A and B are shown apart, each in its own frame.
Chain A
Amino acid sequence: MSNLNKTLGLVLFAANTTVKAATGTGQGVTEGGKTQLGVNYLTLEEVVLQRVTLCVPLNTSKTNDIHVLPNTVAVVISPFETNVATLSFLVSDVLPDSQDRVLLLVYSQGKSPSPQIPTPLSKEKLQLDLSSVEILGLYNIPASRVEAQQATRIGSANPSPRSKIGFDINLDNLSIPSLINKGQDKIYVQAAILPLKDFRNNRFDTMILSELDEIRFIPNSCPAGYASTGMGSSLSSSTGK
């Protein structure tokens, strides 16, 4: 699996060169356009599942309102925790599409001052530094047919349902404390979706991206100026967004 990981990281990294050549060829489709969730941007949220505490800045913390979490959070992981700690990343909305696609959850330990890959179809731009990028999760989403909905005696359904996809990540108990000790305690995460054929051809300019979330790993308790959001349960705690 680590080989796959490296390969995907390299694929994404290699795309940088490929796509840069396309700069200036009719980019800027999203400029001034209407923003539609799932069409030209995604959203990303973090939810604690077990053995981690999620901390948010005090000025943004809202009790029982976990689905409006800010994009900067801290995650407390005890250095003495030997059991699996799980953090969930929720990506909204995935709409049906007639082509096969890939949904990626990507993180990097660095942020880039400007996008290293232009993504004209996306309202949100790539902010990760690709030199340390790694794919945390990847899902192949096959093409799905949007079924024509039949008329009934009382009405009919919208043929395009919306899906929220959750990646539950078992955090590595050994490497995260080690990263904290080295002072490399911060990661930046973005979600992206793109056609499978483009992914295979290293064409990343067709990506639709989420906003950038910043996660800081902390060893003991929430840092000063932060409050704990408590424990949550994956997707169900964030409905109604």
Chain B
Amino acid sequence: MNTYFCLFLLVIAELFSVTAYSSPAFDIQDIKLNSAGLDSIQFCKVTTTAPTNTLFMRFDSEKAKIATLQFVFSEMPVHSHDSVLLLLYSRCATDKPQIETPLSPKPLTLNMSDMERLGIFEIPAMTAQPNTRLGAVSTANSQITMEVHLELEKLSKELAMGNQRFYIQAALLEKEDFQQRHYDKALLSSSYTLYVNNTACPSSEKFLKLSHTENRLCENLKKFGLTQQEKTNVKP
């Protein structure tokens, strides 16, 4: 009996080890700057202990118009249902999620009053048909890379308004849930903070000071809510 039990445990352990390889959590794995050869745009190295998932981009809008960011997502198991991948951002964050997402290990940190959808992508379901002689397909994964073109003139206007940081999060949900606006079913990525500056890379001290300062908009948002000019359609 004990032998059978040990064998059972081994089988379970085996199953879990395979699952761990093939089903990692949904997340943004990397954000890269894809503006090859452009000296006028760069990710700054901030030497101070910056919080995790913090990026600082310097640009010169006189010399370049667009900064292209490449978002590389973690590998995802291929599903038998259609999904929708969303890339969202807002200029203000919240301590308490404005939508509860019980299926997601990571909460929504974006302020929905100010949130905009940077990208939406349909991920079709795929049907696996494993075959055998040499072996059999056990799992299938896909890894998605998407590009976002940031307009530097628009970023300069944001900077002029006192908005220097942008919070970015991705969401994955079944297409049917998305269509029926069941956003509480979403899986959310880690939240990234992108700081931008149209002059030079900041010193560590300046960055430290900056990281404790909110965007001007958020201070206003707390006091008065969004002005008509600041309002945008909030639809994930």
Contacts and interface: CB of A to CB of B under 8 A. Distances in A.
A195 to B, nearest CB: 14
Interface of B: 14, 17-18, 21-22, 24, 29-30, 32, 66, 68, 72, 74-75, 78, 82, 85, 87, 89, 116-151, 154-155, 158, 166, 232
Interface in A124-179: 134-145, 147, 149-150, 152-159, 161-172, 175-176
Contact of B14 (A1, A83, A150, A159): A83
B10 to A, nearest CB: 9
A96 B17 CA distance: 32
- 8 smallest A-B Cβ distances: which pairs? A157-B119, A235-B75, A158-B147, A155-B150, A5-B131, A161-B146, A166-B141, A171-B135
Contacts, number: 194
B119 A175 contact: no
A142 B76 CA distance: 17
Interface in A170-226: 170-172, 175-176, 187
6 contacts: A154-B155, A156-B149, A163-B145, A167-B137, A171-B135, A235-B75
Contact of B140 (A50, A166, A171, A187): A166
Tell me if B's interface is mostly helix, strand, loop or mixed.
Answer: strand
A175 B133 CA distance: 8
A170 B138 contact: yes
A139 B79 CA distance: 12
B17 A50 contact: yes
Contact of B142 (A83, A149, A158, A166): A166
Contacts of B87: 157
B74 A236 contact: yes
Nearest to B32: A240
A1 B128 CA distance: 12
B157 to A, nearest CB: 8
Nearest to A238: B143
Given A136-B135, A141-B126, A152-B116, A234 B141 contact: yes
A62 to B, nearest CB: 20
Contacts of A161: 85, 121, 144-147
Nearest to A164: B143
Nearest to A107: B134
Interface string A44-75: 00000110000000000000000000000000
A18 interface: no
A78 interface: no
Contact of B122 (A2, A135, A144, A235): A144
Contact of A153 (B17, B68, B116, B121): B116
B131 to A, nearest CB: 4
A233 interface: yes
Nearest to B88: A152
A239 interface: yes
A116 interface: no
B148 A158 contact: yes
B116 to A, nearest CB: 4
